[in-house]
């Protein structure tokens, strides 16, 4: 197990810990992210187990990443007050099915999930941009959100935009240029670490006075 694997586990565990520590006072949309981080930790532990056994772990990401994607999108639906919009929910469920179809028929389960990842990160970036537009056009919500969800959304935006390019090209690079693929992988890890650190700091040092 490498240093970045250990750091990854610790940061995800800290994300879970800071949520649980302030769970009763957290806004409802942030409570949703507890499921995301627990699922992420389980995924990473299972992935590491497969690596230690010398087995291909990529199929785990093909199956679980679409679920993570749905949780993040639902988080933004809450922020945009669209959680009960049946059309959007149906579109999100359809997009999950589309991502799984990409995994089974475009990328194989033993390949890097590049096509599904491009689709996932693109949709998440659009949700974040819609949220930013919503906040900056609504001064009443801005003061409430600026120190919490805007920071979380900013961390997610940097993560998703960077991974849009990195993960989208990873499957090709793994076949054509392993050296560049390795460098991109470490950049991908760094983007994940950045999001986790931003989330931990925002939740740990924010005073939540109102339970939503």
List all residues 6 or more positions away from 13 whose beta carbon is below 8 Å from its beta carbon: 41
At 89-131, the pLDDT tens digits run 999 999 999 989 888 887 778 788 777 888 889 999 999 999 9
pTM of the model: 0.88
pLDDT recorded at residue 21: 92
- Top pLDDT among 66 and 209 is at 66
pLDDT recorded at residue 209: 54
Task: Indicate the burial class of 82 (C-beta count within 10 angstroms; 0-12, 13-18, 19 or more).
Answer: middle
- Top pLDDT among 29 and 170 is at 29
pLDDT recorded at residue 208: 57
pLDDT at 155 over 60: yes
């Amino acid at each position: 197990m490498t240093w970045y694997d250990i750091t990854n586990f610790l940061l995800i565990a800290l994300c879970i810990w800071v949520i649980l520590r302030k769970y009763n006072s957290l806004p409802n949309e942030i409570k949703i992210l507890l499921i995301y981080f627990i699922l992420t930790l389980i995924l990473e532990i299972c992935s590491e187990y497969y690596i230690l056994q010398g087995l291909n772990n990529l199929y785990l990401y093909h199956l679980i990443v679409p679920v993570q994607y749905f949780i993040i999108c639902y988080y933004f639906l809450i922020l945009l007050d669209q959680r009960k919009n049946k059309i959007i929910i149906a579109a999100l469920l359809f997009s999950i099915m589309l991502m799984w179809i990409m995994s089974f028929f475009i990328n194989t389960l033993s390949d890097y999930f590049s096509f599904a990842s491009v689709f996932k990160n693109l949709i998440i970036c659009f949700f974040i941009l819609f949220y930013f537009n919503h906040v900056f056009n609504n001064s009443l919500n801005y003061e409430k959100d600026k120190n919490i969800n805007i920071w979380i959304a900013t961390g997610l935006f940097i993560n998703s935009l960077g991974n849009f390019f990195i993960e989208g090209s990873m499957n090709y690079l793994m076949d054509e240029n392993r050296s560049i693929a390795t460098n991109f992988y470490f950049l991908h890890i760094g983007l994940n670490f950045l999001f986790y650190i931003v989330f931990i700091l925002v939740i740990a040092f924010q005073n939540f006075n109102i339970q939503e």
